[in-house]
Structures are given as C-alpha cells and as structure tokens.
Amino acid sequence: MHRLGQAASFILAVCAWGLSGCVGTGVLPVSEEPLRRVFVAEAMGAPSAELSVLNDVVHDVAVRTLRARGYEAVAEPAQAEATLGASWHARPLRDGSPESRFSLRLTLVNREGRLVFAADAVESLPAGFLTAARVADQVRQTLAKLEPAPASR
C-alpha cells in the first residue's frame, strides 16, 4: 500500500505538470527542505520503440549525475525523500513538418507529492536527433541545475 501511495503522488505531480503547460519550461525553485535520498523512476510515456530504448540511458545518467552532485540514489521508493521521474511527450505533426517532435520532462517530487524541480531535458526535437549521447548530455545538463545535495546527516 505504501508504494501505491508514492506512485499516486508521483502520478498526480506529473498530471499537475501536464495541466500547467502554459507556465513554461524553466526550472522551478528548489524547495526549502533538504533532500538527499532520491529514487530514480524509469522514464515513461515513450511514444515509439526508438525512444523507449533511450529510457535506460535516461535512468543511468540521472543516477550517475545525482550521485556526482552528492545525492544518494536509492533502490526503493520507500527509502527516498524524493522521486525523480522522466516522461516523454510528443508534439503532433503540423502542416509542413515532416515528423513529430519529442520532449523529455524531468520532475523531482518530494515524499508529500509536492513538485520540487521540473525542467525539460529535451525540448521539441525530432526522433532522428535523439541519440543516446545527446539525451545523456541533455539529462546531465538539466540535472546540473539542481543545487548540490546537502551535507550528509
């Protein structure tokens, strides 16, 4: 039941982000409370097989980047103070555009379900431009916007 509650909080935060599309793609301010232990969830919503292959890249790079910034990446959501999620979003074809464009949104949600950090790691790129190296660089750069983790308790 505990995992269900955390999953529900994460899903609600992602839905809230989806409803706030007019807010922009900037980084939200980091909350006042110190977060150190983060569970990195698998990326979700890949609209194609090509993008779902990149989910492992997103997860691995996020874990490594958080560790490099002093965070502890935990294996279970119950151990975490926050959850980092990633979700793919497709923008449909438009007149004159030969292919759809994709974005990858990273969100950090605390234990209470409050959105702590949100930013687009990939913004409106065609699938052909989404290589493992490019996505890894974009995830690294985006997570570099997070403040380093507070000192160990």
User: What is the pairing mode between strands 101-110 and 82-91?
Assistant: antiparallel
What average pLDDT does this structure show over 14-20?
Answer: 46
For the chain, how many structural domains are there in total? Answer: 1
Angle between helices 132-143 and 55-68 (to 10 degrees): 30
The domain of 120 spans 2-143
pLDDT of the residue at 152: 57
Better pLDDT: 63 or 48: 63
- CATH number of the structural domain spanning residue 70: 3.30.160
| Report field, pTM of the whole predicted structure over 0.85 | no
Does 37 reside within a domain?
Answer: yes
CA-angle at 122, arms to 147 and 14, nearest 5°: 70
Give strand ranges (E) for 63-133. 72-74, 82-91, 101-110, 115-126
pLDDT of the residue at 32: 57
Predicted confidence band at 51 (pLDDT cuts at 50, 70, 90)? confident
Does 150 reside within a domain?
Answer: no
